[in-house]
C-alpha cells in the first residue's frame, strides 16, 4: 500500500483531540434526551445538537485540510479505551440476550454470545502489536460529511415529523426521547466506525449500529415491528459473526488486526468474512429482508438507515476492502451478489405501490450496484461506487423525508394516492421529483456513475455484470418513471388537502434538494476534489477517471435538463390557447374528474399505475433470488476456506 504513515505533529494534534469530540458530542446528547421531557426544549436541543455536530465536522475538516490533508494514523497505545470497549461489547451482548429472552428468540442469543466469546478469546490469547487505531483520510472525510450533514438534517426533520406522526398514530406510545437518543447515538457510532483503523474498534462500533437499528425498528412495539426488528438483528449479528471470525483469523494467522493489513497480507478468508459483514449490513441478497422490514419504524429512522448510516457502513467497509477484491474469488462472489441484487431488487420494486417499499427496494438495488462495483475492485469501478454512494445518500434521504411528509399530509404513502400531487402539495411534489430524477435521470450523477460502471465492467471482462446492468437499468427506469408520471398528473383534486409539513421538515428537505442540484452542477469539482483523492489513496496513484470530453457531455446534458424546459416554458407561455376537457369517449361529465358510466350515472375517473404484479411480484422473485444468492455465498465460502486450508 503506497500510503504515507505520518506521525501527527503541530496541527495534527488538534485533529487528534477533535475526534473524541466528534464521537462524543452525539453520545452526550443521546444521554441527555431521556431527561428532557418537554417537547419544545427537546426540539431546540436537537437543532442545537445537529448544529454543533455539523460545525464540529466543518472545523475538523478545515483543520485537517489546512494541516496538509495527509493520511493520519492516530492513537498508538490505548489500553484503557480497549478495556472500555471490551466492557461495551459485553454490555451489548447482555442487552441482546436480555431482549431475546424477553421476546423468546434463540438465534440472536447464539449469534451474539458466539461472536463476543470469539472476540474476547482472541483478544486475551493473542498478543497483538501496538498499531494505530484510527485513521483520517479522504474517505473518512467524505463519510464524515455524509454523516454530519445528511444525518444532522434528518435529526432536524425528525423534530417536526414526530409531532405529526404521533398525531396520526394515537395507538403508538410516545417514546420520542428514546427515539432521539437513538438517532444521535447512531451518528456517534457511525463517526467512530469510519475513523477506526483497528478492526476491534470498528467491530465495537459496528455492533452498536446493529443494536441501535434493532431498537429503532422496534419503536412502535407492534407485533410486526418486533418481528422485523429481530429479523434485522439476527441478520446483522450474522454479519457481526463474520466480522469477529475475520478478526480472529487475522489475529492468529497474521498477528495483526489492522484494516490495512487485511488488504495487504490478509488472504481471502478474512477478506470474505469481512465482506460477509459488509453484505449483511448493506442488505444485499440473501439478507435484504431486514431492510425491507425496517420500514415499520417511523420514517426518519428509515431515512437515516438508508442514507447516512447503517447500509452506508456496509458499503463503506466494502469500498475500503475493494482494492483487495481485484481478480480473486472473493471479488467475484461480492460482485456477483451485488449484480444479482441490483437486478432482482429493481424488478421487485416494479410491483410495489407503497412509496416506502419502492424506496427500500431501490436502496437495496442501488447498493447492489455499488457492491458490484466494489467487488470488481479496479479504479474505475470504485470511482463509480463512491459517486453512487454520494448521490444515493442525498437523494434517498430526500425521498424518504418527502414521502414521510406526504404521508403525514395525505394520510397515505401509497403512490396511487399521490396522483396529481403537483397540484395538491406542490412543494413536496417538487422535492420528491428532484429526488427521483436524482436517482436515475441524466444528468444527475447516478447516470454518470452507471456509465462509468458499465465501461469498467466491460473492461474487466465480466459478462454477467454487463447483462445485469443492461437489464437492471431498464427495470430501474420503469419504476421511477411511473412514479414521476404519477406526481406530475395535472388533475383537479377531489378535496383539497392542508399541507401539515412543519418548517423544520422543509428546511431539511430544501437543504437536500439544494445539495442535489449543486452536486449536479458541480459534478466535475466533486470528482476532482473528493472522489479522485479517495481513489488515489485506495489504489496508490490513479489517473483521472472522468475524461474531459465527458465533462463537455455533462455540460450538454445539464443544458438539456435544466435550461431546455425553462426556455420552453417561456416560449410556450406566449402562445395563446384554449383549454378543453380531456377525451373520454364523449361521456365526460363536464370536468375532467367524472364520466357517465353504463348505468347513466356519474362515475369518478380513477387512473392506476401499472405494477406487473404477476410477473415481477415479490412472491415469484423473492425466494429464487434468495436461494441463488445464498448458493453463491455458501459455495464461495466452501471454495475460499477449502483453498486456504
**Smallest separation (angstroms) from another protein to the CB of 559:** 8
| Binding of another protein by 557 (CB under 8 A) | yes
Residue 550, interface with another protein (CB under 8 A)? yes
CB-wise, 129 or 461, nearer to another protein?
A: 461
- When the beta carbons of 94 and 551 are compared against another protein, the nearer one is 551
Q: What are phi and psi of 84, to 5 degrees?
A: -60, -40
Whose Cβ is closer to another protein: residue 287's or residue 478's? Answer: 478
Stretch that binds another protein, among 183-191, 275-283, 351-359, 609-617 (CB under 8 A): 609-617
Shorter beta-carbon distance to another protein: residue 124 or 490: 490
CB contact at 8 A, 208 and 23 = no
Question: Would strands 588-589 and 602-604 be described as parallel, antiparallel, or unpaired?
Answer: unpaired
Of 488, 517, 530, 626, the one binding another protein (CB under 8 A) is 488
Residue span binding another protein (CB under 8 A) among the ranges 130-138, 144-152, 495-503, 565-573:
565-573
In whole angstroms, the minimum distance from the beta carbon of 288 to another protein comes to: 22
Binding to another protein in span 510-549, by CB under 8 A:
549
Instruction: State how far the Cα of 409 lies from the Cα of 424, in Å rounded to an integer.
Output: 10
* 469 touches another protein (CB under 8 A): yes
Of 409-468, binders to another protein (CB under 8 A) are 419-420, 441-442, 447, 451, 454-455, 458, 461, 463, 466-467
Q: Should residue 495 be labelled a site residue for another protein when binding is judged by CB under 8 A?
A: no
As a whole number of angstroms, the distance between CA 508 and CA 321 comes to: 33
Q: Could you give the C-alpha distances from 563 to 513, 560, 569, 612, in angstroms and in order?
A: 18, 6, 10, 35
Q: Which stretch binds another protein (CB under 8 A): 16-24, 176-184, 400-408, 480-488?
A: 480-488
182 touches 216 (CB < 8 A)? yes
Closer residue to another protein in complex, CB, 238/453: 453
Nearest Cα residue to 25 out of 134, 137, 143, 152 = 152
Q: Residue 423: how many CB atoms within 10 A of its CB?
A: 15
Under 8 Å between Cβ of 303 and 154: yes
Q: What minimum distance in Å lies between the beta carbon of 484 and another protein? A: 7
Q: Which three cell numbers stand for residue 41?
A: 426544549
Query: Is residue 281 within 8 Å of 232, Cβ to Cβ?
Result: no
Question: 580 or 645, CB closer to another protein?
Answer: 580
| Residues of span 567-606 touching another protein by CB under 8 A | 568-569, 571-573, 575-584, 592, 605
Taking the complex as a whole, how short is the minimal distance between the CB of residue 469 and another protein, in angstroms?
Answer: 8
The 3 state secondary structure assigned to 199-228 is HHHHHHHHHHHHHHHHHHHCCCCCHHHHHH
For the chain, the maximum distance between any two Cα atoms, rounded to a whole number of angstroms, is: 87
**Residues of 95-128 as b/e, b for ≥16 C-beta within 10 angstroms?**
ebeebbeeeebeebbebbebbbebbeebbeeeeb
Q: Select from 14, 70, 596, 609 the one that contacts another protein (CB under 8 A).
A: 609
**CA atoms in the 13 A half-sphere facing the CB of 338:** 36
Beta carbon nearer to another protein, 40 or 573: 573
Cα separation, 566 vs 545, whole angstroms = 32
Per CB under 8 A, 565 contacts another protein: yes
Tell me: does residue 553 bind another protein (CB under 8 A): yes
**Given the rule CB under 8 A, which of 59-67, 132-140, 301-309, 481-489 is the region that contacts another protein?**
481-489
Q: Which is nearer to another protein, 454 or 626 (CB)?
A: 454
Q: Give CB contacts under 8 A, 24+ apart, made by 165-172.
A: 165/298, 165/299, 165/408, 167/408, 168/407, 168/408, 168/411, 169/220, 172/219, 172/220, 172/221, 172/222
Sign of CA dihedral 236, 237, 240, 241: negative
Determine, following the binding rule CB under 8 A, whether residue 372 of this chain makes contact with another protein: no
Does residue 551 belong to the site contacting another protein (CB under 8 A)? no
Q: What CA–CA distances, in Å, run from 232 to 192, 216, 447, 464?
A: 21, 11, 31, 30
Q: Please, what is the minimum distance in Å from the beta carbon of residue 610 to another protein?
A: 4
CB of 446 to another protein, least distance (A): 11
What distance in Å separates the CA atoms of residue 520 and residue 328, rounded to the nearest whole number? 35
Q: How far apart are CA 176 and CA 325, in angstroms?
A: 43
Q: What are phi and psi of 591, to 5 degrees?
A: -105, -175
Tell me how far, at minimum, the Cβ of 573 lies from another protein, in Å. Answer: 8
Three-state secondary-structure class, residue 6: strand
CA distances from 438 to 144, 206, 230, 434, 566 (A): 22, 29, 33, 6, 18
Span near another protein by CB under 8 A; candidates 156-164, 201-209, 253-261, 477-485? 477-485
CA distances, 387 to each of 122, 446, 454, 455, 584 (Å): 37, 7, 14, 15, 46
Binding status of residue 615 toward another protein by CB under 8 A: yes
Q: Do 57 and 150 meet the contact criterion of CB atoms below 8 Å apart?
A: no
Q: Which stretch binds another protein (CB under 8 A): 144-152, 269-277, 469-477, 509-517?
A: 469-477
CB nearer another protein, residue 229 or residue 449: 449
- C-alpha–C-alpha distance, residues 311 and 278, integer Å: 9
Q: In the set 209, 307, 473, 625, which binds another protein (CB under 8 A)? A: 473
Q: Helix or strand or coil: residue 639?
A: helix
Which position among 491, 613, 620, 622 is part of the footprint of another protein (CB under 8 A)?
491
Considering only 31, 84, 94, 474, the residue that binds another protein (CB under 8 A) is 474
**In the complex, least distance from residue 455 CB atom to another protein, rounded to whole angstroms:** 7
Residue closer to another protein (CB basis): 397 or 475:
475
Residue number, 35 or 610, with CB nearest to another protein: 610
Which one, 488 or 517, has the nearer CB to another protein? Answer: 488
**CA dihedral sign, ordered 65, 66, 69, 70:** negative
265 interacts with another protein by CB under 8 A: no
Count the site residues for another protein by CB under 8 A: 61
- Could you tell me which stretch among 24-32, 62-70, 270-278, 486-494 binds another protein (CB under 8 A)? 486-494
Q: To the nearest whole angstrom, how small is the minimum distance from the Cβ of residue 496 to another protein? A: 17
CB of 551 to another protein, least distance (A): 12
Q: How many CB atoms lie within 10 A of CB 144?
A: 24
Q: How far is the CB of 375 from another protein (least distance, A)?
A: 18
Binding site for another protein (CB under 8 A): 419-420, 441-442, 447, 451, 454-455, 458, 461, 463, 466-467, 469-471, 473-475, 477-478, 481-482, 484-486, 488-491, 549-550, 553, 556-557, 559-561, 564-565, 568-569, 571-573, 575-584, 592, 605, 607, 609-610, 615
Amino acid at each position: 500500500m503506497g500510503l504515507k504513515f505520518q506521525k501527527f505533529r503541530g496541527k495534527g494534534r488538534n485533529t487528534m483531540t477533535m475526534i473524541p469530540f466528534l464521537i462524543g458530542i452525539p453520545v452526550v446528547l443521546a444521554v441527555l434526551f431521556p431527561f428532557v421531557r418537554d417537547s419544545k426544549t427537546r426540539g431546540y436541543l436537537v437543532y442545537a445538537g445537529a448544529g454543533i455536530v455539523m460545525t464540529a465536522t466543518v472545523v475538523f475538516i478545515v483543520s485537517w485540510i489546512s494541516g496538509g490533508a495527509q493520511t493520519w494514523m492516530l492513537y498508538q497505545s490505548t489500553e484503557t479505551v480497549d478495556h472500555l470497549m471490551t466492557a461495551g461489547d459485553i454490555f451489548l451482548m447482555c442487552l441482546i440476550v436480555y431482549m431475546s429472552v424477553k421476546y423468546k428468540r434463540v438465534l440472536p442469543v447464539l449469534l451474539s454470545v458466539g461472536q463476543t466469546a470469539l472476540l474476547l478469546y482472541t483478544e486475551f490469547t493473542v498478543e497483538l502489536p501496538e498499531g494505530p487505531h484510527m485513521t483520517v483520510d479522504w474517505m473518512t472525510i467524505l463519510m464524515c460529511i455524509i454523516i454530519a450533514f445528511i444525518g444532522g438534517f434528518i435529526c432536524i426533520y425528525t423534530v417536526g415529523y414526530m409531532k405529526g406522526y404521533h398525531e396520526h398514530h394515537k395507538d403508538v406510545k410516545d417514546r420520542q426521547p428514546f427515539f432521539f437518543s437513538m438517532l444521535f447515538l447512531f451518528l456517534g457510532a457511525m463517526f467512530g466506525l469510519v475513523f477506526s483503523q483497528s478492526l476491534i474498534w470498528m467491530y465495537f462500533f459496528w455492533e452498536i449500529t446493529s443494536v441501535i437499528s434493532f431498537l429503532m425498528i422496534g419503536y412502535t412495539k407492534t407485533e410486526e415491528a418486533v418481528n422485523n426488528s429481530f429479523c434485522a438483528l439476527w441478520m446483522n449479528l450474522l454479519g457481526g459473526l463474520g466480522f469477529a471470525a475475520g478478526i480472529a483469523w487475522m489475529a492468529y494467522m497474521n498477528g495483526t488486526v489492522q484494516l490495512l493489513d487485511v488488504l495487504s497480507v490478509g488472504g481471502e478468508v478474512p477478506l470474505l468474512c469481512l465482506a460477509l459483514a459488509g453484505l449483511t449490513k448493506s442488505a444485499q441478497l440473501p439478507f435484504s429482508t431486514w431492510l425491507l422490514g425496517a420500514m415499520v419504524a417511523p420514517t426518519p429512522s428509515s431515512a437515516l438507515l438508508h442514507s447516512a448510516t447503517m447500509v452506508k457502513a456496509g458499503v463503506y467497509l466494502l469500498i475500503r476492502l475493494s482494492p483487495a477484491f481485484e481478480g480473486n474469488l472473493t471479488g467475484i462472489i461480492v460482485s456477483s451478489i451485488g449484480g444479482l441484487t441490483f437486478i432482482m431488487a429493481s424488478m421487485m420494486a416494479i410491483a410495489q405501490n407503497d412509496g416506502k417499499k419502492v424506496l427500500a427496494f431501490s436502496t437495496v438495488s442501488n447498493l447492489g450496484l455499488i457492491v458490484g462495483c466494489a467487488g470488481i475492485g479496479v479504479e474505475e469501478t470504485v470511482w463509480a461506487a463512491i459517486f453512487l454512494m454520494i448521490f444515493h445518500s442525498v437523494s434517498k434521504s430526500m425521498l424518504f423525508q418527502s414521502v414521510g411528509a406526504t404521508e403525514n399530509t395525505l394520510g397515505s404513502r401509497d403512490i396511487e394516492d399521490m396522483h396529481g400531487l403537483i397540484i395538491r402539495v406542490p412543494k413536496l411534489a417538487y422535492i420528491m421529483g428532484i429526488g427521483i430524477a436524482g436517482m436515475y435521470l441524466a444528468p444527475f450523477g447516478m447516470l454518470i456513475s452507471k456509465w462509468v460502471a458499465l465501461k469498467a465492467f466491460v473492461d474487466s471482462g465480466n459478462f454477467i455484470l454487463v447483462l445485469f446492468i443492461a437489464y437492471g437499468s431498464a427495470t430501474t427506469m420503469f419504476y421511477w418513471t411511473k412514479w414521476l408520471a404519477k406526481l406530475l398528473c395535472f388533475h383537479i383534486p377531489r378535496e383539497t388537502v392542508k399541507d401539515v409539513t412543519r418548517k423544520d421538515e422543509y428546511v431539511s428537505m430544501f437543504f437536500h434538494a439544494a445539495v442535489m442540484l449543486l452536486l449536479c452542477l458541480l459534478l466535475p469539482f466533486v470528482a476532482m476534489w473528493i472522489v479522485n483523492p479517495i481513489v488515489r489513496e485506495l489504489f496508490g496513484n490513479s489517473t483521472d477517471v472522468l475524461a474531459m470530453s465527458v465533462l463537455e457531455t455533462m455540460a450538454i446534458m445539464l443544458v438539456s435538463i435544466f435550461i431546455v424546459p425553462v426556455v420552453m416554458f417561456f416560449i410556450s407561455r406566449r402562445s395563446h390557447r384554449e383549454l378543453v376537457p380531456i377525451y373520454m369517449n364523449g361521456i365526460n361529465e363536464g370536468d375532467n374528474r367524472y364520466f357517465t358510466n353504463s348505468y347513466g350515472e356519474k362515475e369518478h375517473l380513477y387512473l392506476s399505475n401499472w405494477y406487473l404484479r404477476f410477473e415481477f411480484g415479490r412472491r415469484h422473485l423473492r425466494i429464487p433470488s434468495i436461494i441463488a444468492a445464498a448458493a453463491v455465498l455458501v459455495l464461495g465460502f466452501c471454495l475460499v476456506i477449502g483453498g486456504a486450508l
